[in-house]
Amino acid sequence: MSLFEGHKPINAPVGINSWDIDPYSKEVLLDPTTFFDQLRSKGPFVYLEKYKMLACGRYGETKEVFSDHERFVSSRGVGIQDFKLEKPWRPPSVVLEVDPPQHTKNRRILTKALSPKNISLLKPFFKRSADTLLDELIVKKDIDAIADLAEVFPTIVFPAAVGLKKINKSTLLGYGSMVFNALGPDNEFRREAMNLGMSVIQKINDQCLVGNIDDEGLAQNIYDKVESGEIDQELAGMLVRSLLSAGIDTTVSAIGNLIWCILQNPEQFNKIKNDKELVNNAVEESLRLTSPVKAFCRTSSINTEVSGIKIEEGTKVLCVLGAANTDPDVWRDPYKFDVSRKTMGHLALGIGVHNCVGQTLARAEITSLLLSVAEKIEKIESLKMPIWKPNNAMRSLKSLPIRLFQNS
Ligand code: OVV
């Protein structure tokens, strides 16, 4: 069989719309909301002519495909390439790109390492770090919320929390860019990220080794399982690699998008300032509305059917989480940033056995930061138009120039 964009080309199933859009084009990546709306309006699934695969963006189908790990597997890759048919760019992730029962065992190690109890011990550190950073930024007054804040906070607190001895910001950000852009087709964004090449990969692989982990951080919990004989050294290294792959770009993007939300909605920022109890929900609402991980694929493991549409074995399905999270049949006034909204059920952190294993850590970081912002900042003004950064799987900003006004 000849491959098409790294997977088995399928014909359009009966009864669905065929669409010539490129979801990985610059225009769509820079401003995906029109794509989200059209995707949902075209039916439960669409056939992407350009990639000979399916996409879904309505809440019901996206949730169904995403959470059914038996019919729609992750082991064949969560990008457009089918790992069963083509060799991936790096050894597959032992949690993201694997199915139960192996997934269950590996994930359990991370679940324990990132337990709510372990994370709650870190919260004071996150809050102190957020306060310190904001005090510095308030002095500067005019800042770029991406380069000076969103990219800085996680790259300070995450390596410290995990216990990484020698990692630096550009390595972490560069690797994240490779991991997420690799999920798309062989386009300019994937190529540009991959150009960072072996030097970044080598530094990341080195960082995962036991000698480069301190005994204070969360990653030590993973290496403890080597000492107790539960897992081998190699698996431990791969689990640490997952933390480095998934832990930085995601939170950088979430923080940038959150600042963008409060900048566009000063009345919502005031609500948060007046009632700090709203901080947690404001973070959820920004996750729902901006869905930093915009889309992941699944691959059908059998011939099956969803919402009356026949899906043949080996079909790649692009599950557009950002579209599901703005489905007007589920969310009233879906593009409104409303910090009092009921956000339960959003799919920004996934759903099913693969849902974000680092979510407690991510939330602890982001809520600490928003609380500091709400305590210290009177208002935020825009200095220049935000600039978005095209990425094959993420929705993130490149630049967000703002002026900070200190609380009087
Ligand atoms: C959720 C996620 C994103 C990217 C990479 C990984 C996981 C990984 O396990 O490598």
pLDDT confidence of 328, banded at 50, 70, 90? very high
pLDDT greater than 90 at residue 167: no
- What are the tens digits of pLDDT across the range 236-270? 999 999 999 999 999 999 999 999 999 999 999 99
Give pLDDT, residue 285. 99
Q: Residue 151, Cβ neighbours under 10 Å: how many?
A: 23
Best mutation site among 245, 353, 391 for ligand 1, i.e. most ligand atoms within 8 A of its Cβ?
A: 245
Residue nearest to atom 3 of ligand 1 (CA): 246
Residue nearest to atom 9 of ligand 1 (CA): 242
Domains belonging to the chain, first-starting first, are 17-406 (1.10.630.10)
CB 33 within 8 A of CB 326: yes
Give pLDDT, residue 208. 93
Cα of 111 vs its chain's centroid, Å: 17
CB 389 within 8 A of CB 397: yes
Six-digit token string for 407: 């609380």
pLDDT confidence of 1, banded at 50, 70, 90? confident
Cα distances from 136 to residues 141, 226, 260, 406, in angstroms, run 9, 41, 20, 11
Residues near ligand 1 with C-beta < 6 Å? 93, 95-96, 179, 242, 245-246
**Whole-angstrom distance, CA of residue 208 vs CA of residue 210:** 7
Nearest in space to 403 (alpha carbons), one of 268, 263, 309: 263
Q: Residue 262, Cβ neighbours under 10 Å: how many?
A: 25
pLDDT confidence of 53, banded at 50, 70, 90? very high
Residue type, 131: D
Distance 119 CA to ligand 1 centre (A): 19
Distance 31 CA to ligand 1 centre (A): 24
Q: Which atom of ligand 1 is nearest to the CA of 250?
A: 3
pLDDT confidence of 197, banded at 50, 70, 90? confident
For the chain, count helices (H), then strands (E): 16, 13
Distance 93 CA to ligand 1 centre (A): 7
Per cent of the chain over pLDDT 90 is: 98
